[in-house]
């Protein structure tokens, strides 16, 4: 897709467009870096947040930081000044970008599968599958798989005298951008497609399970409520809306780029289309921490504790007790023949 030499952002687009892109990258960098670091800090600081489910969220935040905290500032400076980077450093920067993208997408799938097993399977299955060692291996595998996908591009030959190879940036380079390589573009398109299928399947199954459940299960909070009265239909509807919001945001930010990458393998698409879909896709890395934690009561209480300064005044590490127990704490006490949704054998 990206193997043409058509002028792109910094080459053929006007000065106003460069200013606009620089501003967007800067805002996404600040917003995404702050949120990702905040989520990582909360999980590391509060014991109740150190769960298997949150480990996958932190893994995604680390990958998002590679894009928001490392790649986006360089891109904003590059577009505004037009000063080219050294060949080796440019290749390193693009490799970090591709690594962050693929690990972040893998984390979306790991989170979705974790929630699917947590809510739809018996406790014994979840306990055996998500042991600490298994979780660590899953996280390591996400990075190793991403590195494996990156190696073919790193071993590709140099392409001298090509200009404006990437949809994001602008001046001459002596090496292709990672997305200018057909293999890398095809790999990213396939990755987006596979993860979209996984996310949709898992959340659809969770939604169906919750709909037929006697108990009320919070999809985003990983909580199960015992003996909840039936006088709270609006709460159930809100939980469904929150769950669908996760799927919708993921689809809206990834699917446009998928089709641009897929169609672009054989047809050269307009630069405006490529740039617009890429910017929308980049927004996902800034929204991810908010997407998975904004309705989580444990994260909200931990954040309020930090804002009030309780952590630094020597108060107990961890969030304040709540009447609703999380599923992870209910697992040892649940009968192996009873599901999380209240279905008794």
Q: How does pLDDT run across 127-185, given as a tens digit for each residue?
A: 899 988 999 999 999 999 999 888 877 776 544 433 343 434 333 333 446 676 777 78
For the whole model, what pTM was predicted? 0.76
d(CA 2, CA 185): 8
pLDDT at position 177, please? 64
- Closest by CA to 75, choosing from 63, 56, 57, 93, is 93
Residue 13 has pLDDT above 80, yes or no: no
pLDDT > 70: percent of the chain: 67
The residue with greater pLDDT, 89 or 63, is 63
Q: Tell me what percent of the chain is helix, strand and coil, each rounded to the nearest 5.
A: 70, 5, 30
Query: What span, in angstroms and rounded, lies between the C-alpha atoms of 109 and 254?
Result: 13
| DSSP states along 80-131 | HH-PPPPHHHHHHHHHHHHHHHHHHHHHHHHHHHHHHHHHHS-HHHHHHHT-
Predicted pLDDT at 278: 92
Map out the domains of the chain as residue ranges. Answer: 12-333
**The pLDDT of residue 2 is above 50:** no
* Torsion region of 132: left, alpha or beta (phi above 0 gives left; psi -120 to 50 gives alpha): alpha
Written as six digits, the tokens of 340 are 């999380």
Task: Give the C-alpha separation, 90 to 108, whole Å.
Answer: 28
12-333: what CATH class?
Answer: mainly alpha
At how many degrees (to 10) do helices 52-65 and 132-154 cross?
Answer: 20
- Nearest one of 182, 227, 239, 249 to 2, comparing CA atoms: 182
Residue 169 CA to residue 78 CA, distance in Å, equals 7
Question: What's the DSSP call for residue 48?
Answer: G
What mean pLDDT do residues 277-290 have? 92
């Amino acid at each position: 897709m990206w193997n043409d030499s058509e002028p792109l952002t910094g080459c053929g687009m006007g000065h106003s467009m460069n200013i606009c892109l620089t501003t967007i990258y800067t805002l996404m960098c600040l917003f995404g870096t702050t949120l990702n670091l905040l989520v990582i800090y909360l999980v590391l600081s509060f014991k109740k947040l150190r769960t298997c489910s949150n480990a996958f969220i932190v893994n995604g935040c680390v990958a998002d930081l590679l894009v928001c905290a490392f790649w986006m500032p360089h891109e904003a400076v590059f577009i505004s000044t037009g000063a080219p980077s050294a060949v080796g450093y440019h290749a390193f920067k693009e490799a970090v970008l591709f690594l962050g993208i693929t690990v972040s997408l893998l984390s979306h799938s790991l989170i979705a599968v974790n929630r699917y097993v947590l809510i739809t399977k018996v406790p014994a299955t979840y306990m055996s599958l998500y042991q600490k060692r298994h979780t660590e291996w899953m996280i390591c595998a996400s990075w190793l798989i991403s590195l494996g996908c990156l190696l073919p591009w790193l071993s590709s030959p140099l392409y001298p005298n090509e200009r404006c190879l990437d949809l994001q940036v602008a001046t001459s380079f002596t090496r292709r951008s990672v997305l200018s390589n057909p293999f890398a573009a095809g790999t990213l398109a396939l990755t987006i497609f596979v993860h979209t299928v996984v996310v949709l399947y898992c959340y659809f199954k969770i939604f169906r399970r919750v709909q037929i459940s006697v108990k009320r299960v919070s999809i985003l909070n990983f909580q199960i409520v015992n003996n909840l009265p039936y006088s709270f239909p609006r709460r159930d509807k809100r939980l469904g809306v929150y769950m669908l919001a996760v799927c919708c945001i993921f689809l809206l930010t990834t699917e446009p780029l998928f089709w641009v990458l897929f169609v672009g393998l054989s047809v050269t698409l307009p630069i405006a289309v490529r740039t617009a879909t890429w910017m929308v896709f980049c927004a996902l890395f800034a929204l991810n921490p908010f997407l998975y934690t904004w309705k989580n009561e444990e994260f909200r209480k931990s954040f309020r504790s930090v804002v009030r300064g309780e952590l630094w005044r020597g108060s107990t590490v961890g969030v304040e007790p709540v009447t609703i127990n999380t599923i992870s704490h209910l697992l040892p006490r649940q009968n192996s023949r009873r599901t999380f949704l209240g279905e008794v054998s």
